[in-house]
C-alpha cells in the first residue's frame, strides 16, 4: 500500500489525507464512511468525503491539509519542509515577482543520476 511505501521512504513529517470521492454516488458506495474514517485514524491521516461533480468537500479537504502543513512547519521549522515567504510588500511592477519567494531546502542528495543532476527522492 501507498502508506507503507511512504512510511518506508519518507523521513520527514508529512500530512496525509484520505479522500473518498464521488460521495454523490451513494448507491455505488464500496467503502462505508465508518471503515474509511477508522482506516484514516489508524494511519494518522485526515479524512474527507467529497464530490468533485457537486463541488462538495473539495475546498475543505485542501484547506485542512494546508492548515495541518502550516502547523507542522510551525512546530518544527527545520523539519525539511519547504519555506514560503508571502511578503505582500513586494513590487507588483516586476513581472517575475509573484509577491513572495519560494525557498527550497538544501540539496540532501549525495549521488548524481545518469544525466548528472542530483535527486533527493
Whether residue 105 has pLDDT greater than 80: no
Does residue 16 carry a pLDDT above 70? yes
Calculate mean pLDDT across residues 32-44: 95
Amino acid 74: pLDDT? 84
101 vs 80, higher pLDDT: 80
pLDDT above 70 covers a percentage of the chain that reads 63
Q: Which of 3 and 82 is assigned the larger pLDDT?
A: 3
13: Cβ contacts below 8 Å, ≥ 6 apart: 72, 76, 79, 81
pLDDT higher than threshold 70 for residue 78: no
State the chain's mean pLDDT as an integer: 75
Q: How far is CA 6 from CA 9, 13, 37, 38, 55, in A?
A: 5, 10, 19, 19, 29
Do residues 51 and 22 lie in contact, with contact meaning Cβ atoms separated by under 8 Å? yes
Average pLDDT for 65-91: 70
Residue 5: is its pLDDT beyond 60? yes
Amino acid at each position: 500500500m501507498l502508506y507503507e511505501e511512504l512510511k518506508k521512504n519518507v523521513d520527514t513529517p508529512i500530512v496525509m489525507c484520505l479522500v473518498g470521492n464521488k460521495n454523490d454516488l451513494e448507491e455505488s458506495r464500496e467503502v462505508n464512511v465508518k471503515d474509511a474514517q477508522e482506516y484514516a485514524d489508524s494511519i494518522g491521516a485526515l479524512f474527507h468525503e467529497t464530490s468533485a461533480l457537486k463541488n462538495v468537500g473539495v475546498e475543505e479537504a485542501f484547506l485542512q491539509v494546508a492548515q495541518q502543513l502550516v502547523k507542522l512547519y510551525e512546530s518544527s521549522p527545520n523539519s525539511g519542509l519547504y519555506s514560503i515567504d508571502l511578503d505582500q510588500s513586494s513590487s507588483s511592477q516586476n513581472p517575475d515577482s509573484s509577491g513572495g519567494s519560494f525557498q527550497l531546502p538544501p540539496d540532501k542528495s549525495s549521488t548524481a543520476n545518469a544525466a548528472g543532476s542530483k535527486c533527493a527522492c
